[in-house]
Amino acid sequence: MIKKEINMNRKRIALVTSLTLLTGISINNTHLSQNRVIHTVKASDSKKTNKVSSKYPDITQELDITSMEQYTSNNLFMNVTLKRFYIKDLATNKQGQILIILTPLKTSNQYFYLQTDLISQAKINQKITVQGFLNGKIKLTNKQINDGLNPKYLNKKVVSIMPDKIILN
């Protein structure tokens, strides 16, 4: 039941995001000359073809992960793959879900956060590959800290990801 609700929420988010993007494109195109509109459509068609080839494109090809602050939470709704990211911290909550904080590099301070029951054995500093849906930015709260995450992460801004597949490397 919960997975069904998550899938419905993902579909709603994707629909709202696509409608927002289409509205923005329509408004921008009404002010362009006819030739520029044709070029814009051709460019977006070729870009769309590239994205369809992989359901979970590599996040490094889609976003600058060294500086996620440049993106608003509204821009961070897409399917991605986080390849070989490091587990910086993890904990298990009362519901048996594992809470994980990831970084692209061991020394990075760009954090990604996920909750999952897809894996049972993981260790800090282990590399992990995650395929899933970026779900905007959040701040880690006392709830996550009380569930066992290190207090140094309290109020840290993180990019939330809803995992569909996890591979321990």
DSSP calls for 152-165: GGTT-EEEEEEEEE
Residue 63 and residue 48 share a domain: no
Alpha-carbon gap, residue 118 to 116, rounded angstroms: 5
| Last-in-domain residue among 15, 30, 52 | 52
At residue 12, the pLDDT reads: 65
Pick the range with the lowest mean pLDDT from 34-38, 51-55, 152-156. Answer: 34-38
Q: What CATH number did the domain enclosing 105 receive?
A: 2.40.50
Task: Please state, for a pLDDT cut of 70, what percent of the chain lies above it.
Answer: 69
Confidence at residue 10, expressed as pLDDT on a 0 to 100 scale: 66
Based on the domain organization, do 111 and 155 belong to the same domain? Answer: yes
48/81 same-domain check:
no
pLDDT tier, 31 (very low <50, low <70, confident <90, very high otherwise): very low
For residue 97, the model assigns a pLDDT of 92
Are 72 and 48 in a shared domain?
no
Residue span of the structural domain in which 76 resides: 59-168
The overall average pLDDT reported for the chain is 78
Residues 70 and 108 in one domain: yes
CA dist., res. 10 & res. 127, Å (int): 26
Tokens of 137: 């930015």
The dihedral sign for the CA sequence 6, 166, 62, 135? positive
Q: Are residues 87 and 66 in the same domain?
A: yes
| Confidence at residue 121, expressed as pLDDT on a 0 to 100 scale | 85
Confidence (pLDDT) at 66: 82
Let me know whether 91 and 116 are in one domain. Answer: yes
**CA–CA separation, 46 and 25 (whole Å):** 16
Nearest CA among 69, 56, 87, 64 for reference residue 158: 69
- 116 and 163 belong to one structural domain: yes
Instruction: Name the residue with higher pLDDT: 16 or 104.
Output: 104
> Which amino acid makes up residue 72?
T
Co-location of 93 and 111 in the same domain: yes
Number of domains composing the chain: 2
pTM, to two decimals:
0.67
Helix (H) or strand (E) holding 80: strand 79-92
Give me 99's structure tokens: 């809470």
Co-location of 161 and 96 in the same domain: yes
Residue whose C-alpha is closest to residue 68's, from 154, 152, 169, 136? 136
Same domain as 32, residue 73: no
Residues 146 and 65 both lie in one domain: yes
